[in-house]
Structures are given as C-alpha cells and as structure tokens.
C-alpha cells in the first residue's frame, strides 16, 4: 500500500491509502472535500485494496475539541466518521440523542474499539450539528442554506432545545445572522417555522425592502399566520410612522415685514407637495438620503430667511425621527403591541389581516391627500403653532 497526501482544505492532515497501480479519483462534492478531507489512520483489513475511510478533520482521533478521551464514533449516511464523546452528546440532548445513547454507558478500556453509531444524516449536516453541540464556530465551512435548514431539523430530532442553541451567543445563531442579508426570507421562514422569536426579530430588519406582494402561498404557509402578521405589521407600521413624521409642516415664525402669515403659506404649500410626493409610494426602507434630496431643494423656492431656517430645522427633526423608528418587531410574543411603540397599530386576528390593511391604507390616503390638496386645512397649524392637537405627544419614541 502507498500513502499519498490527500486534500488539506479542511485544516487537518489526511492520507488516502490505495494501491500504487490503481489511481483513484475523489468523487465527493467540492463542499464536502472542503469540510472532510479523506484520511486513514491505518490501512483497513479488507480484501478490497482500494477501500478508504473518510474521517472528519475536526472530530478525528486525538482532536482537542474536548479534554476527555473519545469513546464514540458517529457514522454519517455518506460514510464519514466523527469521533465524539458520549457524555457531551448525552448532556446536550433531552431525549438521549433520539434514544440512541444509554445513560448507563459502560466504561471502555484503552485497547477496546469505540462503538460505531450509524446515523441517517449527511456528513455536512452532522458536521454542523456537532459544531453546535461542542459550541465551535463553523462559518469557515460556508454551509449551504439547505444544510443549515436540515441541521435545525436535526437539532429537534436529537433532542437539542432550539431556544438554547439558536439564540445569542450560540454559533448557529450568529451564523444564521451572518447569512441573513443574503437571503432574509429563507432565514425568516426558518425562524418562523420553528418559532425562533429572537432570530425572526433580528432578521426582520433585512426584509424592509422585500415586496410583500411577491410572497407565494407556499411561503405564507411555511411562515405561518403569527409571523406573517408580524411581518405585515412591521411594513405597515414603518409606513404609518413615516407619514406621521412627514405630514406636520414646519412651525411658522412670527410675522415680520415682508413675510406675514399669508406669505408663509408658500412654505406650507411646497412642504405639502413634497410630503405628498414622498408618501404617495412610500416604502418601509425609504432611505434618509431620499428624504434629504427631496426636501432640501425646497429652500430655493423661499425668499424669507426665517422660513428657510424653519424648513431646515424641520428637516433635521424629520431625519432624526425617521432614523429613530424601529426597524424590527414591536409586537410582543403574545401578539399585542409593546407599550410605547412608534407604530401605534392595533393587531387584528390573523384571518382579519386583509380588511385591516385596506382600512389603514384608506385612512392614510384620506388624511394625507386631504391635507395636501386642501391647503386651508393647514390653518389649524398656523393658529395653534403646534401639531399636538393633530399628532399627540408620545407618538414617536426615539431609540
């Protein structure tokens, strides 16, 4: 037999033992070769001289992932061996690792071979599972979304509580957050289907630009009514908050020579038109740069320096209020709005979501465009010089 160096992408040493006269190609996928380079400690006693055994480069004999000696081998469905510790798996699981392990595990002498437990899971999934159990980061392996989803299912199968292993500061939780900007809907769907509230809240901010109309029936079924409602409330709440901060015009200044209250109507008029432009098709992820680009040129339409200062001060307040609007859920786990939230939405039952959306949209349009095109309605602002009568204090809560 001839020992030739194998793949070293996974960070561990490996050797494929095979006859010199019979070359062998590695048929594994690139992702699998990156995680588990094939390695053999001793040539197997077999009549087939080309037979190889694949061992994990992280969970191999003599690895330092745990101070106790290795006493168990897990074999994946594709023939990868993982050398692990019985006590570590038993301590992490609530169902004795799907009833595969015994609490009265007998002691083993150093000369005895470790028992082998075959598992139906693929090696790429089992690799994630064991990294989670041993609390080891695994981002360097770049697992696919499918393998991450299967790993979460494996956690449930082998009795690992999801609220413990998919929450801060667990490695799986942080890796899911790392890939959330690349595919937020899949991560949100994964969190919703397993009721992972912390992960869903952290992922929801990446869905502000997602068009809800493009959700398919399958997506809605996997997300479920509770988290689907929360996602709609997040979008509707952001839009409501934008309209609340953008509708009140700048405060008028005392009348001076050359700029009376009637003259200041020009400021109200240009602000109303700009606000209507932004609110006509506003989106939950409206960037601050767009607001500034729309509002700042309005100063060119004004001749009064005090009016210009009032507009600039209002724009600063608008930007600060919009930046302070929450980008995640403000709905508690039992479905009621959190006290002091900036959305101000009253949740409806999940099956009554469509009428609520239509009602909110109709009310918002009536309020916005009634103020925009019937400018005399702005006299209440001029008379009171305050917008507390229309927008009560405490509507906004800056973060």
Share of the chain above pLDDT 70, in %: 67
Could you give the angle at which helices 265-280 and 225-246 cross, rounded to 10 degrees?
Answer: 160
C-alpha span between 74 and 82 (Å, rounded): 5
Q: Which segment of 224-233, 314-323, 355-364 scores lowest on mean pLDDT?
A: 355-364
Residues 242/279, Cβ–Cβ less than 8 Å: yes
Its pTM stands at: 0.68
Q: What is the average per-residue pLDDT within 318-343?
A: 58
Q: Which long-range contacts (CB under 8 A, 24 or more apart) does 84-92 make?
A: 84/59, 84/130, 88/133, 88/134, 89/133, 92/133, 92/160
Per-residue pLDDT, averaged over 324-345, amounts to 46
Res. 185: pLDDT tops 90: yes
15 compared with 99, residue with greater pLDDT: 99
What pLDDT is stored for residue 144 in this prediction? 94
Distance CA 34, CA 14 (A): 12
Q: What's the token pair of residue 226? A: 């509770």
Could you read off the pLDDT of 356-395 as tens digits, one per residue?
Answer: 444 444 443 443 333 333 333 333 333 333 333 333 333 3
DSSP lists the bridge partners of residue 319 as none
Alpha-carbon distance of 6 to 2, in angstroms, equals 12
Q: Residue 80 has which token pair?
A: 């990868």
**Average pLDDT of the residues in 156-167:** 95
Quote the pLDDT of residue 155. Answer: 96
- Report, as an integer, the average pLDDT of 209-235: 94
- As a whole number of angstroms, the distance between CA 106 and CA 317 comes to 70
Mean of the per-residue pLDDT values for the chain? Answer: 75
Between 349 and 65, name the one with better pLDDT. Answer: 65
**According to the model, what pLDDT value does residue 106 have?**
56
Q: Is the previous residue joined to 312 through a cis bond, with omega within 30 degrees of 0?
A: no
Q: CA gyration radius for the chain?
A: 31
Most confident of the ranges 13-17, 285-289, 352-356:
285-289
Strand arrangement of the beta sheet that strand 72-75 belongs to = 54-55, 80-84, 72-75, 116-118
Give yes or no for residue 317 having a pLDDT over 80.
yes
pLDDT for res 83: 94
Report strand pairing: 2-5 vs 15-18.
antiparallel
Residue whose token pair is 């799986």: 172
């Amino acid at each position: 037999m001839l020992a030739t160096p194998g793949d070293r992408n996974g960070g561990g040493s490996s050797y494929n033992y095979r006859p010199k006269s019979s070359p062998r190609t590695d048929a594994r996928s690139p992702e699998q070769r990156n995680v588990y380079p094939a390695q053999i400690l001793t040539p197997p006693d077999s009549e087939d001289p080309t037979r190889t055994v694949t061992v994990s480069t992280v969970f191999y004999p003599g690895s330092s992932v745990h101070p106790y000696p290795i006493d168990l081998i897990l074999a994946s469905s594709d023939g990868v061996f993982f050398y692990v510790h019985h006590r570590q798996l038993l301590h992490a699981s609530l169902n004795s690792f799907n009833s595969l392990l015994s609490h009265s595990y007998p002691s083993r002498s150093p000369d005895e071979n470790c028992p082998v437990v075959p598992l139906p899971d693929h090696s790429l999934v089992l690799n994630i599972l064991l990294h989670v159990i041993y609390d080891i980061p695994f981002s360097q392996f770049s697992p696919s979304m499918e393998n991450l989803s299967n790993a979460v299912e494996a956690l449930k199968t082998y009795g690992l509580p999801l609220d413990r292993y998919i929450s801060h500061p667990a490695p799986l939780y942080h890796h899911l957050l790392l890939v959330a900007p690349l595919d937020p809907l899949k991560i949100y769907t994964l969190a919703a289907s397993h009721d992972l509230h912390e992960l869903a809240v952290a992922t929801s901010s990446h869905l502000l630009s997602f068009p809800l109309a493009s959700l398919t029936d399958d997506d809605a079924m996997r997300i479920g009514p509770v988290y689907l409602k929360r996602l709609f409330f997040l979008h509707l709440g952001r839009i409501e908050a934008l309209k609340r901060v953008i509708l009140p015009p700048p405060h008028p200044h005392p009348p001076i020579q050359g700029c009376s209250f009637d003259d200041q109507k020009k400021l109200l008029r240009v602000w109303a038109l700009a606000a209507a432009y932004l609110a006509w098709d506003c989106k939950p992820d409206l960037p601050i740069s767009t607001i500034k680009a729309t509002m700042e040129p309005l100063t060119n339409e004004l001749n009064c320096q005090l009016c210009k200062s009032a507009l600039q001060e209002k724009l600063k307040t608008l930007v600060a209020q919009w930046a302070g609007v929450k980008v995640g859920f403000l709905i508690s786990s039992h479905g009621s709005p959190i006290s002091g939230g900036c959305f101000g939405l009253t949740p409806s039952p999940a099956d009554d979501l469509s009428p609520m959306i239509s009602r909110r949209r109709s009310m918002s349009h009536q309020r916005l465009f009634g103020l925009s095109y019937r400018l005399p309605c702005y006299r209440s602002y001029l008379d009171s010089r305050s917008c507390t009568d229309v927008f009560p204090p405490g509507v906004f809560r800056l973060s």
